[in-house]
A and B are shown apart, each in its own frame.
Chain A
């Protein structure tokens, strides 16, 4: 008992590694340091959905078929988000972080892994209400072109507006959330002035280097998909990108502690995973 299963697993692991290597060499997207448990799930899902017999067949397919690669890219990049996700974070940004941002004459914010943009616009709304938006420049980046296209449009499903509105209020919103969008039958379109201070750009955290010197980095629920080595590399990238005293905002279940990078940043609001850069 056990032996055949162990062999199967070894073979599957080898096939996963070859597939990721192939994808990297052919298309330049590097998933080799992603969490393996997550990759296994997503790849099995793609095997089933595309009726492929095994990962060997998938490797052959992905190398020869760019459309299939695009499909796989979408499987491997999770872009689940919502406006004012984790409202407590936005509350703390208002009370604890905005006063710090006020001390800089001009504030550059890097939102790394912005997916479809919901949280970028949430930040723009918050900064607007705090009287800071006009002095800010937000760089919102993602490697997923499709998500980035959606982010630029700023159009979201009408079903989600109740959730967004609730989050906005819980997050300390001061105006009426409906002031920020126009609605049609099944969608809400965010007001275009919200985009004035946002630049959307294609940037891959894994393969591209430091983005720009910024006062704040927001990177929420992106690093959870990476293994420890890659997490450490990205934390270093953030450290290098931030000006002295710069702010780092992570997802509420992400951990600097367990990634072994706690010495680079000190907590501002530990529960909300808001940190600031420690001087060298």
Chain B
């Protein structure tokens, strides 16, 4: 099936070391009425408040906030996992938080979010792994692919820290490897129904 025919329902992003700059490069490119929710796990130290979400919110057209337990994931909104909780998505598109043990040293864990999102959204999910100094997210991205979703990895050659993108590349079949600067425009190409405007643009940046 052509990618242009898929109506995506959500984007999940996993990022660790170097995340502030990476998210600052991507999220401000999204229009206010962006057609799907964007759900982000950025590794943070326990006890961190929602400074990160507020900082990004001031710089983005889309709304950026911390995901709350039982909140429904809405289009045009970027949700960040709160520090020290795993973030999961339920079948009814509401968020759950858990204090399950750290997964590969991380809470929130990218794998946990991605695996639950893959269950819920199946082929209508875009999973993106960005800069980071560990291998969290690689199992999760493989789960996104297994359920037929679209997988994107930041080009490790240009990533601030390349461990996480490289681990993802090794673990999952990847649809697009993109430089950081191309990821924002790539996502912005999704229309308000969650479909890519045209195969043309998507294919033109395929590596």
Q: A residues bordering B, Cβ < 8 Å? A: 1-2, 5-6, 9, 35-38, 40-42, 78, 80-81, 221, 224-225, 228, 231, 253-255, 258-259
- Report the nearest B residue to A38, measured CB to CB: B98
* Cα(A204)–Cα(B69), bound, Å: 22
- Residues on A with beta carbons closer than 8 Å to the beta carbon of B1: 1
B96 adjacent to chain A (CB < 8 Å): yes
B147 adjacent to chain A (CB < 8 Å): yes
Q: How far is the CB of A137 from chain B (nearest CB, A)?
A: 28
Extra pairs beyond A6-B122, A9-B119, A37-B88 (11, CB < 8 Å)? A1-B148, A2-B123, A5-B148, A35-B90, A38-B88, A38-B96, A40-B119, A41-B115, A80-B100, A224-B98, A228-B70
Q: How far is the CB of A230 from chain B (nearest CB, A)?
A: 12
- Report the nearest A residue to B96, measured CB to CB: A35
* Cα(A164)–Cα(B5), bound, Å: 54
- Residues on B with beta carbons closer than 8 Å to the beta carbon of A78: 98-100
Contact indicator A253/B112 (Cβ below 8 Å): no
Contact indicator B116/A37 (Cβ below 8 Å): yes
Q: How far is the CB of A227 from chain B (nearest CB, A)?
A: 8
- Residues on A with beta carbons closer than 8 Å to the beta carbon of B116: 37, 40-41
Q: How far is the CB of A216 from chain B (nearest CB, A)?
A: 22
Q: How far is the CB of A51 from chain B (nearest CB, A)?
A: 19
- Residues on A with beta carbons closer than 8 Å to the beta carbon of B115: 41
- Report the nearest B residue to A42, measured CB to CB: B100
Q: B residues bordering A, Cβ < 8 Å? A: 1, 68-71, 82, 85, 88-91, 96-101, 112, 115-116, 119-120, 122-123, 147-148
Q: How far is the CB of A32 from chain B (nearest CB, A)?
A: 15
Contact indicator B101/A224 (Cβ below 8 Å): no
Interface centre among B70, B98, B122 (most CB of A within 10 A): B70
Contact indicator A2/B148 (Cβ below 8 Å): yes
Contact indicator B100/A36 (Cβ below 8 Å): no
Contact indicator B101/A80 (Cβ below 8 Å): yes
* Cα(A258)–Cα(B72), bound, Å: 9
* Cα(A81)–Cα(B98), bound, Å: 12
Find A253's partner among B68, B90, B91, B100 (CB 8 Å cutoff).
Answer: B68
* Cα(A5)–Cα(B96), bound, Å: 23
Contact indicator B68/A255 (Cβ below 8 Å): yes
- Residues on A with beta carbons closer than 8 Å to the beta carbon of B70: 228, 231, 255, 258-259
Q: How far is the CB of A250 from chain B (nearest CB, A)?
A: 10
- Residues on B with beta carbons closer than 8 Å to the beta carbon of A258: 68-71
- Report the nearest A residue to B90, measured CB to CB: A37
A-B contact pairs, 30 of them (CB 8 A): A1-B148, A2-B148, A5-B123, A5-B147, A6-B122, A35-B88, A35-B98, A37-B88, A37-B96, A37-B116, A38-B88, A38-B96, A38-B98, A41-B98, A41-B115, A42-B100, A78-B100, A224-B69, A224-B99, A228-B70, A253-B68, A253-B82, A253-B85, A254-B69, A255-B68, A255-B71, A258-B69, A258-B70, A258-B71, A259-B70
